[in-house]
Structure 1
Amino acid sequence: MLTVSDLDLYYGDAQALDGVTLQVAAGQTTAIVGANGAGKTSLIRAISGILKPARGSIRFKDREIAGLPSHVVCDLGIGQVAEGRQIFPTLSVRENLEMGAVIPRARAGARQTYDRVLDLFPRLRERLDQAAGTLSGGEQQMLAIGRCLMGKPDLIMFDEPSLGLSPALVQELFRIIRALAADGMTIILVEQNVAASLRIAQTAYVLENGRVVLSGTGEALLADPAVKQAYLGL
């Protein structure tokens, strides 16, 4: 579904991505693992159109999307649950969800999508008229995921979704991600909880200093001695 080839990205003179190449298969979960500053978020932002790469290719469903504006990328079917949730705090839960459906691809069947999101997150149904900024951290993350789903994406990119959540809420978050995957959603998962992300990923890539240094199945990387030492503390 998504192919990234020889991708370079710079912030001024500082290179954030160096020849990154990876593939994301339709209907699978792909984990991207690495230390802080490895280039994970830069890669997500390049795919979503927030950042423009200096070189390389990003193809989504056989269409070149590198350098396209983010709203165009979103309307092609790539959704993002950004780090820090990025909800609209002064808008209600209902209004935040409605904002997710403003792109053209989402307008048809928006009511059915809305009902599906509230079935997935019943706590949001109880708080539809509440200001989003007054929700708990876990509820805000549910809202961020729900808003993304309102855009009817074919591919969802999660950027550090468990950041700042309690252990119980992290378990609930991964249950939701597994449920989306079981429904056939294609997922890219950038997550600080390396062990949990590798357990649910069919494919995984390790980034170091903007380069892919290791790739394989999630199961294989979970058992890899270098990954265990660097990211699992084993």
Structure 2
Amino acid sequence: MLFVHDIDVFHGDAQALDKVSLEVPERSIVAIVGANGAGKTSLIRTIAGMHRPAAGIIRFKDRDITGLPSHEVCDLGIGQVAEGRQVFPSLSVAENLAMGAMIPRARRHKARNLERVYAMFPRLLERSGQAAGTLSGGEQQMVAIGRCLMGEPELVMFDEPSLGLAPTVVQDVLRTIRDLAEGGLTCVLVEQNVAVSLKLASRGYVLENGRMTLSGTGTELLADDGVRKAYLGM
């Protein structure tokens, strides 16, 4: 579904990504792991059209989307749940969710998608009139995921979805991602909890200093001595 080949990305004079390649099969979870500053968020933002690559190719469903602006990428069916949730704090839960349905592909089915989101997260229905900034971190993450789903994506990129959440809430969030994938959504998961993300993923990639250094199934990467030593403390 998603094909990234040899992309280079610069932030000013600093190179953030160096010939990075990956493939994301349809209806799968693909994990991208690496230390802070490895380039994971730069990769997500480049795929989403928020950074323009200096070289390389990005294809989505056999269409070249390299360098397209983010609103066009989103309207083609690529959604993003950004690091830090980034809800609109002064808007209500319902208003935040409505923002996700503003792209052309989602307008026709806004009511149906809202019903789906509320069925998935009943607490958001209870809080629909409450300002999003007054919610707990876990509830805000529900809003962020729900807002993304309102855009009818076919592929969703989750950037550190468990960051700053309590352990019990983390399990709920990761279970939601697994359930979405089992329901047919394609997922790219950037997650600080390397062990859990690789257990969830059918395939994983290790990103170090802007370069892909290792790839394989989630099981293979969990068994790799280098991965275990660098990220699992084993």
Secondary structure of the structure 2 residue equivalent to 1:21 = strand
Partner of 1:22: 22
Q: Deviations over 1:158-197 (max 9, x none)?
A: 0000000000000111110111011011000000000000
Q: Deviations over 1:97-143 (max 9, x none)?
A: 00000000001211111000000001101000000000000000000
Please state if 1:116 is matched with 2:116: yes
Q: Which amino acid aligns with 2:161?
A: P
Partner of 2:106: 106
Partner of 2:183: 183
Find the aligned partners of 1:96 and 1:88 in 2 and give their Cα distance: 6
Tell me, which stretches of 5 or more residues in structure 1 are unaligned? none
Find the aligned partners of 1:198 and 1:158 in 2 and give their Cα distance: 14
Find the aligned partners of 2:46 and 2:182 in 1 and give their Cα distance: 27
> How many correspondences in the alignment?
234
CA positional deviation for 1:66: 1.3
Find the aligned partners of 2:154 and 2:206 in 1 and give their Cα distance: 24
Please state if 1:6 is matched with 2:13: no
| 1:115-194 correspondence to structure 2 within 5 Å | 115-194=115-194
Find the aligned partners of 2:220 and 2:110 in 1 and give their Cα distance: 40
Secondary structure of the structure 2 residue equivalent to 1:27 = coil
Q: Which amino acid aligns with 1:187?
A: C
Partner of 2:74: 74
Find the aligned partners of 1:14 and 1:174 in 2 and give their Cα distance: 33
CA positional deviation for 1:56: 0.3
Q: Deviations over 1:30-54 (max 9, x none)?
A: 0000001111000000000000010
Q: Which amino acid aligns with 1:134?
A: T
| 1:21-100 correspondence to structure 2 within 5 Å | 21-100=21-100
Tell me, which stretches of 5 or more residues in structure 2 are unaligned? none
Find the aligned partners of 2:43 and 2:109 in 1 and give their Cα distance: 31
Secondary structure of the structure 1 residue equivalent to 2:161 = coil
Scaled by the length of structure 2, the TM-score of the pair is 0.99
Q: Which amino acid aligns with 2:62?
A: D
Identity %: 68
Find the aligned partners of 1:164 and 1:223 in 2 and give their Cα distance: 27
Runs of 4 or more, structure 1, over 4 Å off, are none
